[in-house]
Amino acid sequence: MYGLWVVLLVIAGRAKVTRRNFPAALVGLAVNVVLLILLVPDYGIAGAGVALCGAYVGMLGVMYCWSDGLSRSRSSGDVWPLSLSS
Q: What is the spatial distance between Cα 39 and Cα 2, in angstroms, rounded to a whole number? A: 22
CA distance 21 to 30: 14
**Mean per-residue pLDDT over the chain, rounded:** 76
> For residue range 53-72, what is the model confidence (pLDDT) as tens digits?
999 999 988 888 877 665 55
Which pTM value belongs to this model?
0.61
- Confidence grade of residue 21 (pLDDT, cut at 50, 70, 90): confident
Residues 6 or more apart in contact with residue 12 via CB below 8 angstroms: 18, 21, 22, 25
Q: How many helices (H) and strands (E) does the chain have?
A: 3, 0
